[in-house]
Chains A and B, each alone.
Chain A
Amino acid sequence: MNAPLIWIFVPFVAGVAALFLRNQRWLSLLGSGLALLLALVAFLIPLDQALSIEGVSFKISSSTQVLGRSFTFLPAEGRLLVVLYGLIAMWLFGAQVAQTADRLVPLGFLISSLLIASIAVEPFLYAAAFIEMVALLAIPMLLPPNQTPGPGLMRFLIYQTLAMPFILFSGWLLAGVEASPGDLGLAVQAAIILGLGFAFLLAIFPLSTWMPMLIEETSPYLIGFLFWVLPTMAVIFGMGFLDRYAWLRTSEQLSLGLQWGGLLMVVSGGLWSAFERHLGRQMAYGVMAEIGFSLLALSLPSDKMVEAAFWLVIPRSLAILVWSLSLTQMGRRVESLKFSAVQGMAYSYPLLAAGVVLAHFSVAGFPLLAAFPIRLALWEGLANRSLGLAFWFLVGVLGLLTGATRTLAVLVRPPQENRWELHEHWDESILIGLGILGLFILGIFPQISRLFLADLPIMFEHLGR
């Protein structure tokens, strides 16, 4: 038995098999159960160590060969698999409430297996092709067969497809720079092409226009899953570049570029969120800011960068999950997610309203909520470098807080009959209630994340050392 077979091939086959099932509840339960099982196996069984259970001895080898190239999981990556499959289980479990299990479970498994393959493939550069395949699989997930594709979806397809050639090509140039480090012109060209590739992949401003457009064209829950999983894996892929190439890791210019790119995303996401009147688009701007926070984490000194980048993963996933699930459920009860249509909804759907508002506040880094500790750490890291950077960070965060406060004000604006009633279904109440509880628990006890994330820096050879 080998690790790629378990964590890549099994979910891939499960995804294909799930395409033939139609029952939302069973799909969701089976999908989340399998994802949880995969997380549990990754948690309990160490790689490359012989184990004996009831006299039967076995070993999960860490690598396998496909078409002359290897797919390898390092022992430290076991914890990453636990986190990823654990979070995927949460998303798949919520899919039955959002009534998207028939699309999220099969395609979610296919997407997850390809993204996990992108971590395991050697040379790591080939991950770009896997990420492109993910973008292609995302299209049928986001677009129901009876709906005209909108401009947001077409832009998503174009931008994600353009990312792959740039990244693959830059990999070749980077190898050239490594061979002749004195060639400054080649280094600049390689860095520009790599930057363009990641700008397309991570939807760096101004290539982020598809995000708010797409959220109006599809289910917020489905796009929420993509908003979580794609940037997270793209950032891990980006860290692979920094780990592999010493000159990139030590480049002051790259650190500056990441800083300004990150701040641009945080400030643009924050400011647009402050002025936006559509709840879905506000989530997209929140995600833009989240990508900015990831870039800022990558701009920190090498020893802190990995820890900071991984610390963002769990709070981000939980916040986007609660946010997108609440929006999906809210969208079913109103004509649109515009402010004018959702006024006073907190009176009839208080839990949905709380989910939207608290997730938004969490992304903004409001105290006691999940993302607060890591936002504080990032802010401190920036302030140590320059007060100007810390100021722009504050501008972005204030924008997000303004957006969240405006949302709160609209949702609690009293309707004609201002009686508080609970109209949510029991299953959505439980899920969103648990999500909100999770946001508070992670905010008050951030050390819980360390249980899963502490070993992750070891998966890189040079970063975090």
Chain B
Amino acid sequence: MNLLSWVVTGILLLTAMGLLLVRDWRISLGILGVQYIGVFWLSSLHWPLSMAAVKLVSGWMCVVILGMTSLGLKGGMLSADEFWTQGRLFRVFAASVVVLIVLVSAPRLENIIPGMGLPVVYGGLLLTGLGILHLGIVSQPLRVVLGLLTVLAGFEIMYAALESSILVAAMLSVVDLGLALVGAYLMMASRRESIS
């Protein structure tokens, strides 16, 4: 169980890095879908399986909302940020710095909140840190929403260890879905003006 949790934490590191580096929106959304499996697994360490499944379902619904919108805008997706490819090395370097900070600070957080479990702390902090980095270097609506969902996913993994209220689980799912809907709205708004 513990080994599997560490494997999931490793997958979360790869997905968060992937979201930072991958340019294609289809692959990005696929990565987000995989990320939510990791979120589900780490949440299920502290929540009943049925409650943790809410995260998986709402996460995948977010992926579907963003994917359907992107498909609807076929040919109309605005080009990626100008410095996307040129900045790849910079992104890897910045992400490495964030990973180093997480490696150093996670054990301290585990001391503050005993019982949370190191895989949960690492997974949560990695997603939060890399999500914030993502937000700092993108400006497109889809990319911003992917960054925000990643930050919230990291937070939700850790918060699941602290709070097991059904209302909180429901509200956080509503927030995730709301973010995806807002992202879809922003993407469509950008597209409409570019057409007109």
Contact = CB atoms under 8 A, between A and B. Distances in A.
On whether the two chains bind one another, the answer is: yes
Contacts of B159: 165, 168-169, 172
Nearest to B154: A165
A129 B182 contact: no
B175 interface: yes
B1 interface: no
Question: How extensive is the interface on chain A, given as a class?
Answer: 35 or more
Interface stretch (A12-20, A61-69, A442-450): A61-69
Interface string B121-140: 00000001000100100010
Interface stretch (B41-49, B68-76, B88-96, B165-173): B165-173
B174 interface: yes
A148 to B, nearest CB: 5
Chain B interface mostly helix, strand, loop or mixed?
A: helix
A377 B112 CA distance: 42
B138 to A, nearest CB: 9
Given A145-B189, A149-B189, A158-B135, A169 B167 contact: no
A143 B189 contact: yes
A186 interface: yes
A435 B180 CA distance: 39
Given A129-B171, A154-B141, A68 B165 contact: yes
Contact of B196 (A143, A146, A154): A146
Most buried by B among A69, A130, A176: A69
Interface in A32-66: 66
B179 interface: yes
Given A132-B175, A139-B186, A161 B196 contact: no
Interface string B47-78: 00000000000000000000000000000000
Interface in A141-155: 143-149, 151, 153-154
Contacts of A154: 139, 141, 144
Contacts of B113: 172
B160 to A, nearest CB: 12
Chain A interface mostly helix, strand, loop or mixed?
A: helix
A148 B151 CA distance: 24
Contact of B175 (A136, A147, A148): A136
B190 interface: yes
A147 B151 contact: no
A206 to B, nearest CB: 14
Contacts of B158: 169
A133 interface: yes
A67 B172 CA distance: 14
B152 interface: yes
Contacts of B193: 146-148
B139 A126 contact: no
A148 B152 contact: no
Contact of B174 (A133, A176, A189): A133
For the complex of A and B, 9 pairs with smallest distance between CB atoms: A165-B155, A129-B171, A136-B178, A67-B167, A69-B167, A148-B193, A67-B166, A172-B162, A146-B192
